[in-house]
Every structure is written in C-alpha cells, then in structure tokens.
C-alpha cells in the first residue's frame, strides 16, 4: 500500500518536472518559429547578378544599413563610393568589409551632410572622378535627443536627413540626368505619423510632455518621401523605402535604462531586424526593377519587406511643392 502510494507520488513529481522542462522548451521553440517566420516575411534579395563596372554612391556607408549595403554591393563586384563624414570610420569599415570579401572596389570620400561646403566639395570630387555613376543612395540619417545644428544652423533632422541630401542631388543633377542614374531614398514608416511644420522648418522644437515619438525625426522622414515624389514627377528614376526597425548605431543618442530592455524585449523579438536584413530593402531598390506605373512614390508606394507597400499617408500636392520651394530657399543662406 505504502509502496503504491510512493509510486504515485514519484510519478506525479516526475510529471511536474517534465512539465517544468516542457513549458520553457515549448515557449522557446514557439518564439523561435515566430521569429523565423517574421524573418522570412521581412524578405531577402534573391537577385545575385554581378554589378562589375557599376558605380554606387552610399551616404553614411561606414556603419549600420549603409555598411551592409556597401558590403552586399562590393560582394557583387560593384564600385562603391563610401560617402562618410569621418575618413577614419570609413577606413575601419573598409577594413571590416575586406575581411569578408575581396570583390568590388571601395572608395572612401569625405561627405558631411551637415555642411554645405563639404557637400559642395564632395560633389566636385564625384563630378571629376566618377561623373557617370549609376546610383546614389541617400542613406545617412540620424535622430538626436538634444538640440543639434548643422553648420548653416538648421536643426539636424531637417538639415542632414533632408536638406543635405536635397543639396547633394541638386549639385549632381546634371550627372544623374545624363546617366539616367537611380536615386534611392531611405525614409521610414514613421513618415506616416508625421506632419511637415512649415512654421518651424529647420528650427529645433522641444518635444511636448506627452510626445512618445521624435517628431523632428519623423517629419524629416516624411520630407524624404515628399522629396522622392517630387523627383519622380520630374522624371528621375527614384525609389523610396523603409528598412524596418533595425539593430544599428541609430539609437546611439538614446540612453536606455535597464527596465527599457525588459519592456522592449517583446518588441525586439517581434520587430527588430538585423542591419543586414533591413539593408535588403536598400539593395532591392538599388539593384532590382522596382517601380511600376501603378506602384511608385507618386502613387504613395514605398518599399518595405522587399516589396512595394502603400503608405497610409495622404500626400497633398500643395505640401509637396511648398517643401520643394522652401528647401531651395533654405539653401540660400
């Protein structure tokens, strides 16, 4: 009788231990499957055509998405001009790429998008050394917590993310037109939460107490989209994209507390992509035929998850044209 009782207790405790083991293994396995399904949905570029002889310019190529794009294009034998604000950081990125591939050519040229003089010097260098480049990738961008300004005194989200690239394209427009070069604009889905504040264009506006997002950054990403639309209307071969939430140096000016890591763990699991995965969207726009009559920046489509996706933003032509005019005005300082 006692033996029988002990056997029952033993088997109950074994089932409990098994449960303790199976539950975490089951949860772990399910999370792994969910993560893999999401990675599959986020998409990969399948096209692997060699790009020998093609010249790509990438702004902000020393880290994050720009770096991964440079690596992928070099692997496909392209010539990649790495337009970076620090030649040391560009050199370090080239050293890292060279540990992975000996293919392609990697050319660092200094470009600080927060300085008109630097943008002018850079475009002169391109015009004399690589006048017939094939593609310009406007990738560099940043989000700041504290007021930060460009050399011409514009707050950096407007100044670097939008205006710096606006000036760059303007200075290179004859070459872009002559070569029918492609322009790839790295925007963000956050453009859908933005609004262009013309009264404060280029000025630092403090975040309101209840503001969950960095509106200056989001607004600059909406400007990227409006800008892509205007260029498309003018006949440029332009593509606009969102890479998704990616693990890069982008959040360097944020100072997370330990509990943020706990709070955001599910977001990381479900939404955070590797830089390599996010860069697939840039590589797709830079190397595949993406725009169609129905799906292009003017009809409100952008590339995300390596496919054309309709933006929720209601674009209006008045804002579009006004941004173009105001941006030109902002160059005359």
The residues annotated with a catalytic role in the active site are: 217
Query: Under the criterion CB under 6 A, does residue 66 sit at the interface with ligand NAP?
Result: yes
Complete DSSP assignment for 7-65: HHHHHHHHHHHHHHHHHHHHHHHHHHHHHHHHHHHH---------TT-EEEEET-SSHH
Q: Judged by CB under 6 A, does residue 114 bind ligand NAP?
A: yes
Largest CA distance in the chain: 97
Which phi-psi region, left, alpha or beta, contains residue 233 (left: φ > 0; alpha: ψ -120 to 50)? Answer: alpha
Candidates 110, 121, 152, 249: give the one binding ligand NAP (CB under 6 A): 249
Considering only 45, 54, 58, 62, the residue that binds ligand NAP (CB under 6 A) is: 62
- Any contact of residue 89 with ligand NAP (CB under 6 A)? yes
Q: How many helices (H) and strands (E) does the chain have?
A: 10, 10
Q: Which stretch binds ligand NAP (CB under 6 A): 3-11, 108-116, 195-203, 321-329?
A: 108-116
Rounded CA-CA distance 291/229 in Å is 12
Per the rule left: phi > 0, alpha: psi between -120 and 50, beta: everything else, 63 is: beta
Name which of 101 and 148 has its Cβ closer to ligand NAP. Answer: 148
155 binds ligand NAP (CB under 6 A): no
Tell me how far, at minimum, the Cβ of 27 lies from ligand NAP, in Å. 27
Quote the CA–CA distance of 61 and 90 in Å, as a whole number. 7
Q: Among the candidate windows 22-30, 82-90, 256-264, 301-309, which touches ligand NAP by CB under 6 A? A: 82-90
CB of 72 to ligand NAP, least distance (A): 14
When asked if residue 160 is in the footprint of ligand NAP (CB under 6 A), the reply is: yes
Closest CA to 165 of 213, 105, 230, 254: 230
Measured distance CA(62)–CA(232) in Å, rounded: 28
Applying CB under 6 A, the site for ligand NAP has a residue count of 29
Sign of the torsion formed by the C-alpha atoms of 8, 12, 17 and 21: positive
**167 sits near ligand NAP (criterion: CB under 6 A):** no
Does the protein bind ligand NAP through residue 60 (CB under 6 A)? yes
Round to whole Å and give the CA distance between 304 and 280.
9
List 51, 73, 79, 85, residue binding ligand NAP (CB under 6 A):
85
User: C-beta of 25: minimal distance to ligand NAP in Å?
Assistant: 31
Using CB under 6 A as the criterion, what x/- string covers residues 225-244 for binding ligand NAP? -----------------xx-
One of 71, 167, 246, 330 touching ligand NAP (CB under 6 A): 246
Under the criterion CB under 6 A, does residue 94 sit at the interface with ligand NAP?
Answer: no
Task: List own/partner pairs for 88-91 with CB under 8 A and 24 or more apart.
Answer: 89/62, 89/63, 90/61, 90/62
Q: Does 97 bind ligand NAP (CB under 6 A)?
A: no
Residue 197: Cβ within 10 Å count: 13
Of 129-148, binders to ligand NAP (CB under 6 A) are 139-142
Q: Which residues contact 46 (CB under 8 A, 6 or more apart)?
A: none
Query: In whole angstroms, how close is the CB of 193 to ligand NAP at the nearest point?
Result: 12
CB of residue 265 to ligand NAP, shortest distance in Å: 17
Token pair of 77 as six digits: 């034998």
202 forms part of the interface with ligand NAP (CB under 6 A): no
Rule CB under 6 A: say whether 245 interacts with ligand NAP: yes
The C-alpha atoms of residue 73 and residue 157 are separated, in whole angstroms, by 27
286 scored as a contact of ligand NAP (CB under 6 A): no
Contacts with ligand NAP by CB under 6 A lie at 59-60, 62-66, 84-86, 89, 111-114, 139-142, 160, 186, 188, 242-243, 245-246, 248-250
């Amino acid at each position: 009788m006692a033996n029988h009782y002990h056997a029952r207790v033993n088997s109950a405790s074994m089932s409990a231990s098994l449960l303790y083991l199976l539950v975490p293994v089951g949860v772990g396995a399910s999370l792994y499957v969910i993560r893999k399904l999401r990675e599959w949905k986020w998409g990969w570029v399948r096209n692997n055509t060699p790009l020998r002889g093609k010249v790509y310019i990438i702004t902000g190529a020393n880290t994050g998405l720009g770096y991964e794009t440079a690596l992928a294009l070099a692997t496909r034998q392209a010539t990649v001009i790495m337009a970076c604000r620090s030649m040391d950081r560009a050199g370090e990125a080239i050293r890292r790429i060279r540990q992975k591939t000996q293919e392609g050519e990697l050319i660092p040229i200094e470009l600080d998008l927060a300085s008109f003089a630097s943008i002018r010097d850079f475009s002169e260098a391109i015009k004399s050394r690589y006048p017939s480049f094939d593609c310009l990738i406007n990738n560099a961008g940043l989000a700041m917590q504290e007021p930060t300004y460009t050399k011409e005194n514009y707050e950096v989200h407007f100044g670097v993310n939008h205006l710096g690239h606006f000036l760059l394209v303007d200075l290179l427009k004859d070459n872009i037109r002559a070569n029918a070069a492609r322009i790839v604009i790295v925007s963000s889905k956050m453009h859908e939460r933005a609004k262009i504040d013309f009264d404060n264009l280029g000025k630092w506006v403090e975040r309101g107490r209840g503001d969950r997002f960095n509106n200056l950054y989001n607004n600059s990403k909406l400007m990227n989209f409006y800008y892509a639309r205007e260029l498309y209307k003018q006949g440029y071969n332009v593509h606009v994209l969102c890479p998704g939430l990616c693990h890069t140096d982008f959040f360097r000016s944020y100072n997370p507390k330990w509990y943020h890591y706990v709070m955001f763990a599910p977001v990381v699991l479900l939404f955070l992509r590797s830089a390599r995965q996010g860069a697939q969207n840039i590589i797709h726009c830079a190397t595949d035929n993406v725009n169609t009559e129905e799906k292009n920046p003017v009809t409100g489509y952008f590339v995300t998850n390596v496919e054309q996706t309709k933006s929720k933003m209601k674009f209006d032509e008045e804002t579009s044209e006004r941004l173009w005019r105001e941006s030109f005005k902002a160059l005359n300082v």
